[in-house]
Amino acid sequence: MKKTVKYFWRLFFLGWGAFIAIILMANFGLLGKMPSMAELENPTIAQASEVYASDGTLMGKFYLPSGNRSIVKYKDISPHVINALVATEDKRFYDHAGIDIKGTMRAIIYGGSAGGGSTITQQLALALFNKRASNPFLRILQKLKEWIIAVKLERNFTKEEILTLYLNAVPFPDNVFGIRNASRTFFQKEPSQLTIEEAALLVGSINGPGIYNPRRNPKAAMDRRNLVLSRMAENGNITADQAISLSAQPIKLNYKKPTEDLGYAPYFREILREEVKKILKDITKPDGTPYNIYNDGLKIYTTINPVMQLYAEEAVAQQAPKLYRNVINQGFIKNGSVWKKYEHVLEAAMKNSERWRNLAEDGLSDKEIRATFFVKTPMKVFAWNAARSKDTVMTPYDSIKYHRLFTQAGFMAMDPITGEVKAWVGGIDFKTFKYDHVNLNTKRQVGSTIKPLLYSEAVDELNFSPDTPVEDVQQSFGKGQLVPATSASCTGRTMSMASALTWSRNCATAYIMKQVGPAKFVDFLQKIGLPTEVKPFPSIALGSCELSLFEMMWAYSIFAGRGFSTKPYFISRIEDRNGNVIKRLDYSANRREVISEAAAYIMTRMMQGVVDVGTAAGLRARLGAAEMAGKTGTTNDNSDAWFIGFVPQLLAGVWVGSDDRFIRNEGAGGFGGQAARPIWEYFFKKVYANKDLGISKEDRFIEPPSLSNDAVSADPSLYVTDINPEPSAEGKDIGVGTEEDYMQNLEEYIGPESAPLPEDPKSKQQPKDTSKKVTQDKPIGAPEEPKKKKGLFNKIFKKKNKE
C-alpha cells in the first residue's frame, strides 16, 4: 500500500475517531452543559405566569418578553400552520430521526446558499437549550450539540409533540413568542382559526422576525408569505391555483399587541406580583432552583370577583372626573398660585421623569435637559374621556403640572368574615398613574373614619351604650394638649354617643378619648393587628394618624365580622405549570377576637345612623337596603376624603384625594360624604342590581343571643338626640349637602379601566354584567343638567394650543 494511501486512511480514521470523541464529550457535558434525560423528557419553555379571578377568569399575566408564551396543544393548532411549517422549514421532517443528512450535505457544499441544513427538531433544540453562538468555532461546537439533542428529542417525542413544542417556543415579529400569542397579536384569533394565508404569513416570519415583520415591512413579509404558499403547493398541501390566488391577496392584519396593562385590575396585579415573589422566596422547584414568576408558567388564583372589579372601576370613573373639575375651577388653581410654595415638587418630578433619565443617558447636561422641559412638544396626555387620553401640544413642564392636578382615588371591597378581597382599584388610571392608593404602604390621614374604632373600645371596655351622654366640649390632655385644637366647633352641649357618631362631633369624640385614654386606644389598634405604629397622641381620636385603606378595611372588619378582625387576603393558591399546588394559602389564623359580638352589633347599629340621617344621610334609603352602616371622614383642608361602609356580606372603603396634599378640593365637594361616598354608592347600586352576586338588600346583621332585645334598638335614630348642631364637626363636614353645587356632568360615559383578555380555553366565560343600567352621566341622586358643548380638556388647553 502506498504511503499516501496509508496516510489518507490514517487521517480518515483519526478524523472519524476525533469526531466521535467530540460527539461523546459533548454528549457527556465535557464541552459545556447538556440537558439531562429528565430535562429532555420534560423540556421547559419559558412561559408567562397567569393570574386568575375567583371564577376562573384570566385576569392577566406576568412575563418578560421572551417568556410571554401561552402554551397551546397540537389539536388546537390549525393544520395550515403545520403544513406551512413543514413545507418551508423541513419538508423531510416525517422521514428523518432529527438530522437530515441530505440537507446537511447540501448546506455544507453550497455554504448555506441553497438552504440551511437545520431540521425543525434541531431548531427546537436551539430554541429550548441554547442561544445561537456568534463565534464560528463555538457555532460548530453548538451545532454538534444540536444534533445530539435533536436525536434524543426524536427518541422521546412523537413528531406531533415536536411540532407543538417548536411552535410554542419560537419567536415571531414584535418580540412575540409562541404561535398562540402571535395569532392573537396579529389577527386576534386562536391558532386553530388561522386561514392558509395567515398561517403562511406567521410561519414565514419565523425565519427572520425583524425582516419579515408584516407591520413594519409589509412588502418583505408578503414576498415571504408567497414563498411559503408556493412551497406548500410543491408539498401538495394546497393546489397551484390556490397558491396563485392567495398570493394575490393583500395582507390583512388585526393587530393588537398584548401588554401587562391589559386585563383585569392592573393596580391589584402589580401588588400581587410583589406578594407572590415574597411567598415564593423560600420555596424551590424539585430540582432545587427557585421559582421565576416570569418564566415558570405559574398559575396564581386570587379572590378577586371580576364583576365587582368592573363595578368598582366604573364607580371611580364616574366620580373622579367630577372631583377633578371641581379642583381645577378653584381660583388658586386657575391662577397658578397653588405652585408658588411648591416649585421643589415640580423640580423633583422633572428629575424623576423618564424624559430626564433618557436624556441623561444620552449625555445631555442638567442645563440642557431642563431647557427641553420648556419647549412645546406634541404629546399624548391623560384625559377624562372614553379613551382616557388626548393628543395635545404643551411643554413637558406644563404636562407635569397638568397631571398632578388630577384627583386620585382608592377603592377596596372584601368579605368581612373571610377577608377575601373582591375588588381593588388603586388609582384612576394605571397606564398614567402607577402609584397604588390601597396597599399597606400607602398611608394617609384617616380623619373621622377612626372614630368608630375609638367608640367601639368605649362600648366594649367602658360599657358605653348608644344613649350614654357625652360632652361636646374641648378637652385638655395636659401639657397644653387641647383636642380639638380650637373650640370653634364645640357646642358645649350634652348629647348621646349615638348623636356624636352620627354627626361626627369632634369635641364629643375628644371627650370619649379622655375616658378611654390615648395609650389604651393605641393598644386597641395593635390588638386588631394593624402593622403601622400609631403614637398615643390625643389627636388620634380625630384621625390625625396615617393609615392605609388596606388597614382601615382590616380594622372595620370587626363590625360586620362580629367582633373578629380579619386581615384582607387576595391569594387562594399558586400552582406550577402542570397544575401541582406549590402553595395553598391558609388565612384562618388571620382572624382574632378584638371586641365582643355584642359590642360589634351595637357599633353597627350606631353607624347606621350615619347613613340614615348623619354625614352620609339618605344613603341606605336610596339603595333600599334593609340594614347598612358606615362612616365618613374628612381631614384638614379637605386633603383626604373617606367613606367606609358595610352590609352583612360585604365591606367596602373609599379614599379620595390628591397625591400632593396642597392640591385640595375646597368646599362641600371635598367632604367624605360628598367626595368619597358617591363611589361607594354607585358600586353598591350595581352590586345589588346583579342578583348573580348574591348580595341581597334584604340581608340583616345577626343580633347576638347574649344581647337582650332591649339593649339596643333596631332603629339607631332613636338615640340621635340632636339634629345636626352648629358649628359643624369633622372640620367642615356637615352632611351630604347639595350635590348639584359641585358636581358636573360629563359629555361621555367613561367605563372601567379593566378589559377582558382574548378568550383563553383555560378560563371560563367572561364575566357578565347582569345589573340594571345605572345612570352614567350624573351622580346618584343629582338632578339633570344641560350638556356642555365644549369638552373639559379643550376648555383647559384651548388658549395654549392657539399660541
From CA 185, how far away is CA 217, in angstroms rounded? Answer: 16
Label residue 784 by pLDDT band (50, 70, 90): very low
Read off the DSSP letter of residue 587: -
Q: How many Å separate Cα 271 from the centre of its chain?
A: 7
pLDDT at 762: 44
| Least confident among 165-179, 240-254, 538-552 | 165-179
From CA 371, how far away is CA 367, in angstroms rounded? Answer: 6
In the numeric block, the cell 406549590 is attached to 582
pLDDT at 177: 87
Q: What are phi and psi of 392, to 5 degrees?
A: -155, 180
| Least confident among 191-205, 512-526, 665-679 | 665-679
In tens, the pLDDT along 294-303 reads 888 899 999 9
Label residue 267 by pLDDT band (50, 70, 90): very high
- Positive or negative CA dihedral for 682, 684, 688, 694? positive
Instruction: Show the CA angle centred on residue 468, arms to residues 466 and 470, nearest 5°.
Output: 115
DSSP letter string, 296-347: B--EEEE---HHHHHHHHHHHHHHHHHHHHHHHTSHHHHTSGGGTT-HHHHH
From CA 764, how far away is CA 305, in angstroms rounded? Answer: 13
pLDDT at 740: 34
From CA 604, how far away is CA 673, in angstroms rounded? Answer: 18
Instruction: Show the CA angle centred on residue 625, arms to residues 778 and 596, nearest 5°.
Output: 125
Whether 69 and 178 have beta carbons less than 8 Å apart is answered as yes
pLDDT at 737: 27
Q: Please, what's the b/e burial string for 36-69 (b: 16 or more CB within 10 A of its CB; e: otherwise)?
A: eeeebeebebbbbbbbbbbeebbbbbbbeeebbb
Peptide bond connecting 484 to the previous residue in cis, omega within 30 degrees of 0: yes
| Least confident among 38-42, 45-49, 336-340, 479-483 | 38-42
Per-residue pLDDT averaged across 641-669, rounded?
A: 92
From CA 386, how far away is CA 292, in angstroms rounded? Answer: 37
Which three cell numbers, joined as nine digits, stand for 555? 380594622
Task: Select from 288, 303, 286 the least CA-distant residue to 577.
Answer: 286
Per-residue pLDDT averaged across 43-64, rounded?
A: 85
Task: Give, in order, the Cα–Cα distances in Å from 359 to each of 353, 717, 728.
Answer: 10, 63, 52
Side chain identity, residue 487: S
Max CA distance (Å), the chain: 127
3-state SS class at 86? helix
Pick the more confident residue, 15 or 673.
Answer: 673
Its CATH architecture, for the domain 48-66+262-329+407-803, is 3-Layer(aba) Sandwich (3.40)
Residue 2 burial class via C-beta count within 10 angstroms: exposed 0-12, middle 13-18, buried 19 and up = exposed
pLDDT at 228: 96
Label residue 715 by pLDDT band (50, 70, 90): low
| Least confident among 131-145, 499-513, 667-681, 750-764 | 131-145
Domain positions in the chain: 1-32, 48-66+262-329+407-803
pLDDT at 124: 82
Helices (runs of H) and strands (runs of E) counted in the chain: 27, 22
From CA 782, how far away is CA 326, in angstroms rounded? Answer: 15
pLDDT at 23: 62
Q: What are phi and psi of 198, to 5 degrees?
A: -70, -40
pLDDT of 60 above 60: yes
From CA 297, how far away is CA 308, in angstroms rounded? Answer: 27
Q: What is the 3-state secondary structure (H, E, C) of 347-396?
A: HHHHHCCHHHHHHHHCCCCHHHHHHHCCCCEEEEECCCCCCCCEEEEECH
In tens, the pLDDT along 734-751 reads 332 223 322 334 456 888
| Least confident among 43-57, 271-285, 400-414 | 43-57
pLDDT of 27 above 70: no
In tens, the pLDDT along 610-643 reads 999 999 999 999 999 999 999 999 998 889 999 9
Pick the more confident residue, 339 or 743.
Answer: 339
CB atoms within 10 A of CB 621: 12
From CA 486, how far away is CA 322, in angstroms rounded? Answer: 32
pLDDT of 79 above 90: yes
In tens, the pLDDT along 492-507 reads 999 999 999 999 999 9
Instruction: Show the CA angle centred on residue 258, arms to residues 254 and 263, nearest 5°.
Output: 115
- Positive or negative CA dihedral for 194, 200, 205, 206? positive
Kindly report the average pLDDT of the chain as a whole number.
84
Instruction: Express as a percent the part of the chain with pLDDT over 90.
Output: 59
Per-residue pLDDT averaged across 225-232, rounded?
A: 96
From CA 348, how far away is CA 371, in angstroms rounded? Answer: 15
Task: Give, in order, the Cα–Cα distances in Å from 449 to each of 103, 126, 512.
Answer: 76, 60, 15
Task: Select from 66, 39, 71 the least CA-distant residue to 149.
Answer: 39
3-state SS class at 112? coil
Contacts from 368-372 at CB under 8 Å and sequence distance 24+?
372/396
pLDDT at 488: 85
Whether 121 and 95 have beta carbons less than 8 Å apart is answered as no
Read off the DSSP letter of residue 93: T
Task: Select from 200, 239, 206, 210 the least CA-distant residue to 120.
Answer: 206
Residues 6+ apart with CB under 8 A from 110: none
Which three cell numbers, joined as nine digits, stand for 351? 428629575
| Least confident among 28-37, 219-228, 341-350, 589-598 | 28-37
Q: Please, what is the end-to-end C-alpha distance for the chain in angstroms? A: 97
Q: What torsion, rounded to 10 degrees, do the Cα atoms 426, 431, 433, 437 define?
A: 10
Q: Please, what's the b/e burial string for 586-596 (b: 16 or more CB within 10 A of its CB; e: otherwise)?
A: ebeebbeebbb
Per-residue pLDDT averaged across 527-541, rounded?
A: 94
Task: Select from 473, 466, 581, 454 the least CA-distant residue to 528.
Answer: 454
Q: Is residue 413 within a helix (H) or strand (E), and if so which, with residue range?
A: strand 408-414
Residues 6+ apart with CB under 8 A from 533: none
DSSP letter string, 598-657: HHHHHHHHHHHHHHHTSTTTTHHHHHT-SS-EEEEEE-GGG-EEEEEEEETTEEEEEEEE
Which three cell numbers, joined as nine digits, stand for 508? 364629643
Phi-psi region of 178 (alpha: psi -120 to 50; beta: other; left: phi over 0): left
Q: Which residues pair with 655 in a beta bridge?
A: 410, 642
